[in-house]
Each structure stands twice: as C-alpha cells, then as structure tokens.
C-alpha cells in the first residue's frame, strides 16, 4: 500500500504543480471545479445521500452556483474578484463555526433529515469558498515572480497548497516518532498534539520558503509566517471535520478513486479549510 501511495503521489504532485504554475487562471479554476466537485460527490455519500439522481441534481446546483459567480463577476471593464473575496470570508466564518461542531461529536450523527441538511450545507460552505479562494489567490498578483515568466499569484497559490502538504507530512512523521498526547481521540485517534506542532512548524517553514520564490520581501516574512500558522491550523480543522463525517458514516475513506490515498475528499480536506484562511490573511496583510 505504501508503494502504491508513493507512486500516486509522484504522479499527482508534479501534475498539480505544473497546472498551478503554467495554466491561466480561467483554465485552472475550471480544472479545480472538476476536482472540487468530485470531492463534493464523495461528501454527499458521507452525508448519507445514496440516490444517484439526488446527488446529480445537488452537484449540478453547486456547478450552477460556480458558473453564476463567474458570470456575475464579469463586466465591461474586466473581471472583478469581489464576489470571490466575499465567498472566501464566508468560508473562514464557516470553519470557525465548524470548531463548535467538532466539539459536539454527536451533533447530526444519525441519518435523519436534519442531519443531512446540516451536512449538505457544510459541504457547500466548504467547497464553494475554497474554490473562490483558489481563484482569487491565483489571480492576486500578475507581476513577475523570481521565475520571470510566471506571475506571483500562481506562486502564492502554490505557497498555500505546499504549506498544507508539508503540514500533513510533518504531522505524520512527528506524530509517529514523538506522539504521546492525543489531539482528538474520538474523532481521529491517530492525531497527536506533537504531530500538530510538527505539522505547524513544517507548514510555516514551507510557506516562508515558497513565498520567497513568489517574490516576497524579507520585511513581509513575519506577516506571512503568521498567516501560514493560522491557515495551517485551519487545515487541521478541515482534516478533523472530514474525519468526523467519516466516523458518522462508518467508513475509513471518502472514496477509492486515488490508489493508496482513498478518495478525492481525503486529499482535499485540509485544503478546503486552509485556502480561505490563507487568501483572506494575504488580502488583509497586504503581501
């Protein structure tokens, strides 16, 4: 399983990095919409939506909302990201509220109608704002980065994503080696406080390193470190929330689409929470 997992990662990571750095924003957000909607399809399963027709209608409704956001942001003077920024703010607020949900394990844990409604609403509030934050980050700065032919905004999105990937790896290895104190044993028994600290350090370090390639000034590094630390903690909340949904559903993975990695949502959980936090922090801090 470890070998399959490694091979899948070696295929996915370069493809994702190439797409982020080389594709225009319009093409990237289109590709990201496909990936995010695949994750949303798996979310429907965790929300106990079994009927294919119902899931298809719900998926099309979310796609229509994405298209509406793009259409409403166009004007004769160009493209405005104001609605994307607003959606990003909504996403940050949602993940702060999700912390309350995480503290109440039994909330919406059964299969009644109200539980499905809450979990479907949570899915929309996770997927749409993260997609908007992705587009906003990618288009945030068209000036040249250290790599002159790649805009800074492309590297800022890569910074956010590599931060999450590094945090995941740091938490895994530090947790395995030094983990003693459980972080949330009922939701995710393998996560530890030591792993959280290791992931936080790794995530911030990666964000600082990649931000320098994006063209950040040294004077901006403290602000970047602060935003990266907050966004990394948000990614942990996203990871725990998906684990909560899987516990409620009685499954180990959200799907089987990615060999050795489970489902698409299993790879997106931390990203969904971290992207809005990083994009909003970047906008507020002005780097």
Quick check: helix, strand or coil at residue 78? strand
Q: What is the pLDDT of residue 77?
A: 83
Residue 5 reports pLDDT greater than 70? no
Give yes or no for residue 131 having a pLDDT over 70.
yes
What number is the average pLDDT over the span 193-211? 97
Count the helix, strand and coil residues of the chain and give each as a percent rounded to the nearest 5: 75, 5, 20
Residue 75: is its pLDDT beyond 70? yes
Quote the tokens at residue 154: 């492309």
268 near 257, Cβ under 8 Å?
no
Among residues 253, 263, 276, which one has the least CA distance to residue 40?
Answer: 263
Average pLDDT, whole number, for the chain?
93
Q: What is the mean pLDDT of residues 170-191?
A: 93
User: Where residue 258 falls among pLDDT bands split at 50, 70, 90?
Assistant: low
**How far is the C-alpha of 287 from the C-alpha of 152, rounded, in Å?**
11
What's the rounded mean pLDDT across residues 128-136?
A: 98
CA 74 from chain centre, in angstroms, equals 25
Under 8 Å CB-to-CB from 209, ≥6 apart: which residues? none
Work out the number of other CB atoms within 10 angstroms of the CB of residue 244.
25
| Structure confidence by residue, pLDDT tens digits, 38-52 | 999 999 999 999 899
Q: What residues contact residue 77 under an 8 Å CB cut-off, 6+ apart?
A: none
Q: Are strands 74-75 and 182-184 parallel, antiparallel or unpaired?
A: unpaired
H helix count then E strand count, the chain: 9, 4
* 3-7, 37-41, 106-110, 204-208: least confidently modelled range: 3-7
Q: Which of 8, 5, 38 is nearest to 268 (CA)?
A: 38
The domain segmentation of the chain, as residue ranges, is 2-285
What is the average pLDDT across 110-137? 95
Residue 135 Cα distances to 20, 75, 105, 118, 281, angstroms: 10, 17, 33, 26, 15
């Amino acid at each position: 399983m470890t070998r399959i997992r490694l091979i899948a990662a070696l295929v996915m990571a370069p493809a994702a990095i190439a797409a982020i750095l080389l594709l225009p924003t319009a093409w990237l957000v289109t590709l990201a919409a496909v990936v995010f909607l695949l994750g949303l399809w798996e979310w429907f399963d965790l929300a106990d939506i079994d009927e294919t027709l119902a899931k298809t209608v719900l998926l099309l409704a979310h796609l229509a909302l994405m298209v509406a956001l793009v259409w409403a942001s166009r004007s004769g003077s160009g493209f405005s990201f104001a609605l994307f920024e607003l959606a990003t703010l909504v996403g940050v607020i949602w993940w702060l509220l999700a912390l309350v949900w995480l503290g109440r394990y039994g909330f919406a844990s059964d299969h009644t109608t109200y539980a499905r409604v809450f979990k479907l609403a949570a899915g929309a509030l996770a997927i749409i704002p993260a997609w908007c934050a992705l587009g906003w980050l990618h288009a945030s700065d068209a000036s040249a980065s250290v790599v002159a032919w790649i805009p800074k905004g492309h590297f800022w999105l890569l910074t956010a994503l590599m931060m999450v990937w590094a945090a995941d790896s740091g938490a895994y290895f530090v947790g395995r080696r030094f983990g003693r104190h459980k972080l949330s044993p009922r939701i995710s028994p393998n996560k530890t406080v030591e792993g959280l600290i290791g992931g936080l350090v790794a995530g911030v370090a990666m964000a600082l390193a990649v931000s320098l390639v994006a063209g950040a000034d040294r004077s901006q590094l403290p602000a970047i470190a602060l935003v990266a630390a907050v966004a990394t903690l948000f990614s942990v909340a996203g990871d725990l929330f998906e684990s909560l949904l899987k516990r409620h559903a009685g499954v180990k993975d959200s799907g089987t689409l990615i060999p050795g990695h489970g489902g698409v949502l299993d790879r997106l959980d931390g990203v969904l929470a971290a992207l809005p936090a990083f994009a909003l922090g970047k906008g507020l801090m002005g780097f």
